[in-house]
Amino acid sequence: MALQIQMIGTGSAFSKKYYNNNALITVDGSMLLVDCGATAPQALHKLNIPLDRIDAILITHIHADHVGGMEEFAFRLKYAYKKKTRLYVPSAIADSLWNHSLRGGLENLAEGMSGLDDYFDVVLLDEGEASAVFPNLQVELIRTEHIPAKPSYSLFINDMLFYSADCKFDAELLTRLYEHRGCRYIMHDCQLSSPGLVHASLDELLTLPPELQRTVHLMHYDDTMEQFIGKTGEMTFVEQHKWYTFS
């Protein structure tokens, strides 16, 4: 069965034109939301996708454009839908996700709500191991560089698709995945103006050989994206809300 991806948003953290760069991955009718940023509830509403239609959420790292919608998600699951959704979290960020990000809003000791487990069916993920999120959806975490000493994880999906979380340019990783791991598609965050600082810049991505560039789909871009159409070498921009099929 083909894997389909619809970005509910393709914008950078501070974009005012595009929703946060969060993905819906669908296989056999099951839906995984990769990251749930501050604009995710609004983007899903725009797409007519109720929150309880999502079977699982996976978090790549703790920045508001990736986790800022989690409080609304948790409250609405708990009080409106009265159900728990599966939440895949890298082991290295689970404690921080609760204590440094969500606890202030979600903790309610009077009702016994004192951790992530009280809102979600939490599944911890470890780097380098492929996990079956659904029977036909395997996800492997790859720790990639973003902010010094801050854990951030890109994904290698079904042994064919590399989905960058937010990460700096790493030509060696991309080349290795392409040459030795069967990677055929790359979805990569892209900072359009150099220097990239905490993201891969377009200039850096343009140094990849054309053969590799042809696999690259650019996302997590700022509001000037349209000015860069035709200036991305062999690479193409991902459009938010459009369905992409990878097989």
237: three-class secondary structure by DSSP: strand
Strand locations in the chain (E): 3-7, 23-27, 30-34, 56-58, 85-90, 120-125, 130-134, 137-143, 153-157, 161-163, 185-189, 216-219, 236-237, 243-246
Chosen residue from 35, 71, 140, 166 binding ligand 6SY by CB under 6 A: 166
**Distance (Å, whole) CA 9 – CA 156:** 20
Region from 61-69, 84-92, 118-126, 211-219 binding Zn ion, contact rule CB under 5 A: 61-69
Q: Residue 154 Cβ, how far from ligand 6SY at the closest point, in Å?
A: 13
User: CA geometry: angle at 93 spanning 92 and 94, to 5°?
Assistant: 105
Interface with Zn ion, residue 35, by CB under 5 A: no
Q: Which does 171 bind (CB under 5 to 8 A by kind): ligand 6SY, Zn ion, none?
A: none
Residue whose pair of structure tokens reads 């720790």 in the numeric block: 143
Chosen residue from 65, 71, 140, 204 binding ligand 6SY by CB under 6 A: 65
- The contact pattern for ligand 6SY, residues 135-154, with x = CB under 6 A and - = no contact, is ------------x-------
Q: Residue 65 Cβ, how far from ligand 6SY at the closest point, in Å?
A: 5
- For residue 23 the two structure tokens come to 């993905």
Chosen residue from 63, 168, 188, 217 binding ligand 6SY by CB under 6 A: 63
Residues that bind Zn ion in the complex, under the rule CB under 5 A: 13, 63, 65, 166
